[in-house]
Amino acid sequence: MFNVQEFRAQMVYDGARPNLFRATLTFPSLAINSTQGTGFATGQSASQKYTFMCRAAQLPGDTVNQIPVNYFGRELKFAGNRTFPEWTVTVINDEDFIIRNAFEKWMSGINSHVANLRDPSFISGAAGYQQDGRVIQYGKVGDIIKSYNLIGMFPIDVSPIELDWGANDTIEEYAVTFSYQWWESDTSDALTRILTDEQ
């Protein structure tokens, strides 16, 4: 039976708000394409600016595949392996192009446009192409109510920026899609790591 008071009693905190979030990302910090002189000097400044320019993101989903097995015409389903789908953010573009340039250099370090090579300094450590990121959900009083660490991220697609003579009163933005190894949160098997990072 419909009872609005029972619904109100369940909505204790007035619902989580999608606009109360912050995304952080560590760009590779050492030089890439050093033989070509392009470098990666914007790594640190891009990481700082990304926190403010990342306009939209997602709390990552959770997927465990299934294994169907047929027995006498009846399909039974068993739990398969976990997969981590791609993760996409929307970034506001400022005229300094710091973040855009950093993403382009990051992807160029993974595979250069002309030589079809990976930069030798782009293998592991702080300069490695796989970096960690985080997305944090805040409550209305400013407390952290959910946090995800995305481990081993790297960009696989930086979308075009549309240009248009008729696009008045707008600011450029673009999407970046990442692949990553796995995510960790307070409900995953890496509870200790997340709680330690938040302190």
Residue 189 located in a structural domain: yes
Provide the pLDDT for residue 150: 96
CATH code, domain with 108: 2.30.110
Q: Do residues 68 and 53 touch, judged by C-beta distance below 8 A? A: no
The pLDDT of 125-148, averaged and rounded, is 91
199 — pLDDT class (breaks 50, 70, 90) = low
Which range of residues forms the domain containing residue 166? Answer: 15-198
Residue 147 located in a structural domain: yes
Provide the domain count of the chain. Answer: 1
171 — pLDDT class (breaks 50, 70, 90) = very high
**Statement: residue 153 has pLDDT above 70:** yes
Q: What is the DSSP letter of 93?
A: P
Who has greater pLDDT, 97 or 7?
97
Q: What angle do CA 170, 52, 95 make, to 5 degrees?
A: 45
pTM for this model (two decimals): 0.84
Residue 7 located in a structural domain: no
Provide the pLDDT for residue 186: 84
Residue 178 located in a structural domain: yes
Who has greater pLDDT, 130 or 42?
130
| Token pair of 3 as six digits | 């009872």
**Statement: residue 126 has pLDDT above 80:** no
Residue 26 located in a structural domain: yes
Name the CA radius of gyration of the chain, rounded: 21
Provide the pLDDT for residue 35: 47
For the chain, the straight-line distance linking the first and the last C-alpha, in angstroms and rounded, comes to 45
36 — pLDDT class (breaks 50, 70, 90) = very low
The pLDDT of 121-145, averaged and rounded, is 87
- 15 sits in the region (left: phi over 0; alpha: psi -120 to 50; else beta) called left
The answer to which of 1-15, 64-78, 183-197 has the lowest mean pLDDT is 183-197
Provide the pLDDT for residue 187: 83
Residue 126 located in a structural domain: yes
2 — pLDDT class (breaks 50, 70, 90) = confident
